[in-house]
Amino acid sequence: MPGAIHAEGLVKTFGDVRALDGVDLDVPEGTVLGLLGPNGAGKTTAVRCLTTLLRPDSGRAVVAGVDVLRHPDAVRRSIGLSGQFAAVDEYLTGRENLQMVGQLYQMRAKAAKARAAELLEQFHLADAADRPAKTYSGGMRRRLDLAAALVVSPPVMFMDEPTTGLDPRNRQQLWEVIQQLVAGGTTLLLTTQYLEEADHLAHDIAVVDHGRVIAQGTSDQLKARTGGERVEVVVHEREHIGTAAEVLRVFGKGDTTVEEHTRKLTVPVTGGAKLLAEVIRELDARGIEIDDVGLRRPTLDDVFLSLTGHVAETAGRDETSDAETSDKEAVK
Amino acid sequence: MSAVTPTVPTAAPAGSAVGRSVRDSLIVAKRNLIRMTRIPEMVIFGLIQPIMFVVLFTYVFGGSMKIGASTSATDYKNFLMAGIFAQTVTFATAGSGAGIADDMHKGLVDRFRSLPMARGAVLTGRTLADLVQTALTLLVLAVVALLVGWRVGTDGSTNAGKVVAAFGLVLLLGYAFTWIGALIGLSVRTPEAATSGGLVWLFPVTFLSNAFVDTGNMTPWLRHIAEWNPFSATVQAARVLFANPGRSTSEAWPMQHPVWASLAYSVLIIAIFRTLAVRKYRSATA
């Protein structure tokens, strides 16, 4: 059974740029998919296609059980959109904004009014409800924007870089709201450049680059794909780098990388903490003074870099540097 | 923050497609009217320019213009006002285009386009709100015109009904031109470009006409353009209904039947440019 958000072979070109080059996605009901990718990877274009803002050149998409291309209006009744490109009117007050959105979701004026009051309360905007949104702080504006997307409690939500530009406290707050939403059963597709955010919020992560999904899975699966743990050693004396490299070669399961200027050596390993202890003992036995040593597990950053770097090499895409233009530019 | 529970998806919209379209348009119009009250300086600047035109044209050009056989400054003043009124409503359309471009730029158009609302409502709401603003501007301008000495019925007889009809035709022209402004606003990338792009074409349209000079004094080819200019038809119609001097006696059909010509032109412009603008809006991306 297809998920609450399902896409097959989405293609969208802008002139020479293939912003989407056959994107397949599936988000089971009640889960969160994090769409991760650099600027210009096609994340925003994918969201725009799924939210009826953009018509893909080919492919198929079903959102909340409705075919996006055939019944866009029915899809619009079931989705909420928030993030970098779905704004609020800064000259209207928070209340006026939410009422207007409610009415445009075809709610009756009275119901829209009541719902606006409820959301302002929920999102801690009641005190600022009757001030123009222009006077809001960045965090308040994002909350209002999110509230606008939730006016009809849509079963499927799309958030495009919801926390870009927010300070850590506001980001944390927004994360909490998002987690509550998902706990309540909402299906969410979220784009982000923050790996931490995807790690924190998403059940599944799809890594997008050059308009294609190049990897998909849970955060742990993706990390495992990149390779397991590594031992990282920072030696105190530059002349010890060579000896330390010899030691690591013995214990390691691959090539040792050396950063001369930071005196840092890294080698992939298997064997975890036990092996780490052995490495330390051996280094000590050879009289190598160490500043820092540790077992490092791959972060999503590593995953991301290794995946996108890999694709750029093997697919011979170095010519398509225009694909690097941000989605916004490409759309124009 | 307290729990946010997803519950019911919205019911299908009630009522007919037309009813929904009207309702959504009015909601958007209300939004734009609220904005006007929050940015009063835009309304004020929208007023200053036409008032300047009234004063400058009346006093600077008034003494040296020949209208028909008359060189009287009073005749020119009475001749001029229909032209200034029509020019004012058309120049206001640059603001509509800029407003739409601004909405696109800021992401509001994307918000609207993701909502289950009538497709044309965002543009119709905007043009209706602009029509209200234009009507207010015209009202103030008419008072200023009266203050500098403009009178109706100076060249024949008229009545209140005809005067109101003249203003109605001018406003209809303004509304029609707003759709051209809307299309320009949807076609450019920035509000700044919409403002300049929205103004630049209006200069030839309003000056290659009977608005400020007697077309009888133009070289023939220019005169033909001016007489068939949709803008001229409305100016001529207003002059006829105001019973102001300097009406064209040309054989050209729009000059002979200015009221019908004005109506036909405006309706045609709305039909064409509304269709184009709504189509553009549907695929609009910022």
Which residues are within 8 A (CB) of B75 and not within 5 positions of it... i.e. 6 or more apart?
B67, B68, B154, B245, B246
Q: Which positions 89-128 of A are in contact with B (Cβ < 8 Å)?
A: 89-92, 96, 100-101, 103-107, 122-124
B3 closest CB neighbour out of A77, A84, A180? A180
Please give the Cα distance from B137 to B51 (Å, whole number): 10
Residues with Cβ within 8 Å of residue A129, at least 6 apart in sequence: A93, A94, A95, A117, A120
**Contact check, Cβ <8 Å, A96/B31:** yes
Residue B69, chain A, CB below 8 Å: the answer is no
Instruction: Please give the Cα distance from A249 to A283 (Å, whole number).
Output: 12
pLDDT band with cut points at 50, 70 and 90 for residue A302? confident
B18, two tokens: 């037309």
Q: Which residues of B touch A177 (CB under 8 A)?
A: 1, 4
- As a 3-state breakdown, chain A gives helix, strand, coil percent values, each rounded to 5, of 40, 25, 30
Rg (CA), chain A: 24
| Mean pLDDT on B126-142 | 95
Residue B126 has pLDDT above 90, yes or no: yes
Of B107, B115, B189, the CB nearest to A101: B115
Measured from the Cβ of residue A225, the count of other Cβ atoms closer than 10 Å reads 13
Contact call for residues A245 and A238 (beta carbons, < 8 A): no
CA distance A165 to B128: 36
Burial of B140 (0-12, 13-18, 19+ CB in 10 A): middle
Angle at B228 between CA B222 and CA B230, to 5 degrees: 120
Burial group, residue A120, by CB count within 10 angstroms (0-12, 13-18, 19+): buried
Over residues A57-105, the pLDDT tens digits come to 999 999 999 999 999 989 999 999 987 766 899 999 999 999 999 999 9
- Residue B50 tokens read as 């036409």
On whether any CB of chain A is under 8 Å from the CB of B4, the answer is yes
Q: Which residues fall within 8 angstroms of residue A175, CB to CB, at 6 or more apart?
A: A163, A197, A200, A201
- Cα separation of A190 and A174, whole Å? 13
- List the strands of the sheet with A204-209, edge to edge: A79-83, A156-160, A187-192, A32-36, A204-209, A212-217
Q: What is the pLDDT of residues A212-252, one digit of tens each?
A: 998 888 888 887 777 678 888 898 888 888 888 888 888 88
pLDDT band at B1 (very low <50, low <70, confident <90, very high): very low
Contact status of A53 with chain B (Cβ, < 8 Å): yes
pLDDT of residue A311: 37
- Using alpha carbons only, what angle is made at residue A325 by residues A321 and A327, rounded to the nearest 5 degrees? 135
Among B1, B38, B286, beta carbon nearest to A176: B1
Token pair for B75: 């005749």
Q: Which residues of B touch A181 (CB under 8 A)?
A: 4, 6
Kindly provide the residue ranges of all beta strands, DSSP E only, lying in A111-203, ordered along the sequence: 156-160, 187-192
What's the rounded Cα separation, in Å, for the pair A73 and A78?
9
> What would the pLDDT profile of A318-330 be if each residue is shown by its tens digit?
333 333 333 333 3
User: Residue B6 is nearest to which of A91, A105, A184, comparing CB atoms?
Assistant: A184
Strand pairing class (A257-259; A230-235): unpaired
Strands A5-14, A17-27: pairing kind: antiparallel
pLDDT tens-digit map of B177-228: 999 999 999 999 888 999 899 999 999 999 999 999 999 889 999 999 999 9
Give the max Cα distance, chain B.
80
The pLDDT tens digits of the residues spanning A98-139 come to 999 999 999 999 999 999 999 999 999 999 999 999 999 888
User: Quick one: DSSP state of residue B70?
Assistant: B
Q: In which residue are the tokens 């119009």 written?
A: B29
How far apart CA A185 and CA A29 sit, in angstroms, is 8
Residue B60 per-residue DSSP state: I
Token pair of B272, please? Answer: 């064409």
Note the pLDDT tens digit of each residue in B233-259: 999 999 999 999 999 989 999 999 999
3-state secondary structure of A118: helix
- B126, B100 Cβ separation under 8 angstroms: yes
With residue B186 as reference, give the H or E element that holds it: helix B160-187
CA B190 to chain centre: 21
What does pLDDT average to over chain A?
Answer: 84
C-alpha to C-alpha distances, B150 to A8, B169, B245, B259, nearest whole angstrom = 68, 19, 11, 22
- Which residue of chain A is at minimal alpha-carbon distance from B5? A184
d(CA A280, CA A277): 5
B20 and A CB contact within 8 Å: yes
- What is the model's pTM? 0.81
Of residues A134, A147, A146, the one with CA closest to residue B35: A134
Which residue, among B206, B258, B182, B193, has the nearest Cα to B85 in the 3D structure?
Answer: B206
β-sheet bridge partners, residue A294? A232
